[in-house]
Amino acid sequence: MSRNVSRRDFLKATGAIATAAAVTPQSMLFGVETTTQAKKHWFKGNLHMHTQWSDGHPLAEWAVDWYKSNGYHFICPSDHNIFQSNELRFDGFGFSNPPSDSAAFEGEDSLWKVVSPTAGWPRLLQSHIDQMVEKFGADSVRTITVGDQTYVRMATYDELEAQFAEPGKFLMIPGYEQTGGAPNGQQVHVNFINVREIFAYIQAQTPLEILERTYAKGLELYEGQDYLFFANHPLWRYYDFSPNDLIALPQIRVFELNNNAMGGFDAHPEGWKPEKFWDVVNAHRAAHGQPLMWGLGTDDRHSYEVPPKAWCVVRAASLCTHELLAAIAAGDFYASNGLDFEEIQFDGKTLGVKIDVPSEGRYRIEFIGTKKDYDSSSRVIHVEKGERNPARKIDVYSDDIGVVLQTVEGTEGSYTLKSDDLYVRAKIVKVSDDLKPDWESEPAAWTQPYA
């Protein structure tokens, strides 16, 4: 199956997994059991979140526990530009609080963060400590006071894993978010999943150059390791990188379709939204015989007062990092912000899906794709700095891209690729009066594209 080839290409392209060659190619991806294949299960996870190790609000134990207690099977605490190692330190993303006298920290390890009397980014507040104590008891927070400053010790990744991971129930994967941007302020963030070693943010003039060089650096540094690279929230803060950037970088195989953090900006009326971004890149890739790009759901939570906006559900034989990353590489997962698929099947020509209906109501399946004769041109519009948005150039694309090929009112449907289709993907929604388009549809879920 072409999807298996894609997975192998992906693993090769990311430099991921020396053991990839040892993975038995799946004869069928979609839940069809054969005598040689283990039964597959759906695992819900989030590969992008923040804790007090960077600028997330809760202490890491509290954050990890939240996911474990709320039905997630796996997570990666992907803090900004830091791995939760045992190196003794007092600084990190957006803060630096070395103690006036370091003698009190002799023999100590890990990150120590100062409790701030006033709120502000990315501070640790007494309320975050109270929240921990309430959940895990007074002994769960270790403090050292130097002068008038109280330092709190952050639990390391290994300690978090020892405390929360449970074989077959809850898996933790190490990783981090590489965070920074171009000199004009355009942000380029990427996640490295299943790595522990970080590297300095690669400065360059354009998002394209940053993405290209960061990807290449990952290949070099993590060579032979089983890891996942994805490009984060292209719309944040405001059209920060373009579909054209990922068209120019076919080696980037996964991006964030859904992400909590969209900066509060309204999308430009002519500009792309994340679903359109996805179709623009995949129309080009399919037309040029390149492997398609997968769309990931993440919540990128900083404040846990808000519910998570998206996650991903991965089909794998077991809850282990290698299986999950291989399934993601193969595109055997979906993005969701509230709905689930009971079934996703593709036999090389026909994509069939079934909604796992959570409650009464009207459900719709949209099969979305792009035709071979689509208009692939783009034009640029210049947006001036506004009250909330920075100045940007936005690439605008044809309406030919990402069209609804077929709609099914109901909970089960299929679409057979026509000779003039480049690819097809399915989106499921619960129909309501205030259903929004594109990535803001909710509740909804998105399969990966199939060709």
**Contact positions vs Zn ion (CB under 5 A):** 177, 189, 232, 300
For Zn ion, the closer CB: 54 or 85: 54
Judge residue 311's burial from the number of C-beta atoms within 10 Å of its C-beta, 0-12 exposed, 13-18 middle, 19 or more buried.
Answer: buried
Q: How far is the CB of 242 from Zn ion (least distance, A)?
A: 17
Residue with tokens 């000779």: 419
Longest dimension (CA), the chain: 74
Q: How far is the CB of 381 from Zn ion (least distance, A)?
A: 25
Two tokens, residue 354: 């079934």
- Peptide bond connecting 449 to the previous residue in cis, omega within 30 degrees of 0: no
Q: How far is the CB of 269 from Zn ion (least distance, A)?
A: 25
For Zn ion, the closer CB: 6 or 232: 232
In what helix (H) or strand (E) does residue 368 lie, and over which residues does it extend?
strand 363-371
For Zn ion, the closer CB: 81 or 447: 81
For Zn ion, the closer CB: 67 or 346: 67
Two tokens, residue 362: 């009207």
For Zn ion, the closer CB: 259 or 447: 259
For Zn ion, the closer CB: 95 or 105: 95
Helix axes 157-164, 60-69, angle to 10 degrees: 30
Helix (H, G, I), strand (E, B) or coil at 156: coil
CA distances, 180 to each of 139, 187, 263 (Å): 36, 6, 15
Helix (H, G, I), strand (E, B) or coil at 25: coil
For Zn ion, the closer CB: 65 or 177: 177
Q: How far is the CB of 261 from Zn ion (least distance, A)?
A: 6
Going by C-alpha positions, the residue among 53, 83, 82, 49 that lies closest to residue 66 is 49
DSSP states of 75-96: E----BT----S--BSEETTEE
The backbone torsions φ and ψ at residue 143, rounded to the nearest 5 degrees and listed phi first, read -125, 155
For Zn ion, the closer CB: 45 or 402: 45
Q: How far is the CB of 317 from Zn ion (least distance, A)?
A: 30
Of all residues in this chain, which one has the CB nearest to Zn ion in the complex? Answer: 189
For Zn ion, the closer CB: 177 or 279: 177
Q: How far is the CB of 389 from Zn ion (least distance, A)?
A: 17
Q: How far is the CB of 98 from Zn ion (least distance, A)?
A: 26
Distance in angstroms (rounded) separating the CA atoms of residues 93 and 330: 33
Q: Which residues contact 372 (CB under 8 A, 6 or more apart)?
A: 287, 420, 421, 422
In what helix (H) or strand (E) does residue 396 lie, and over which residues does it extend?
strand 392-397
Q: How far is the CB of 190 from Zn ion (least distance, A)?
A: 9
Q: Which residues contact 209 (CB under 8 A, 6 or more apart)?
A: none
Q: How far is the CB of 17 from Zn ion (least distance, A)?
A: 25
- Is residue 184 within 8 Å of 138, Cβ to Cβ? no
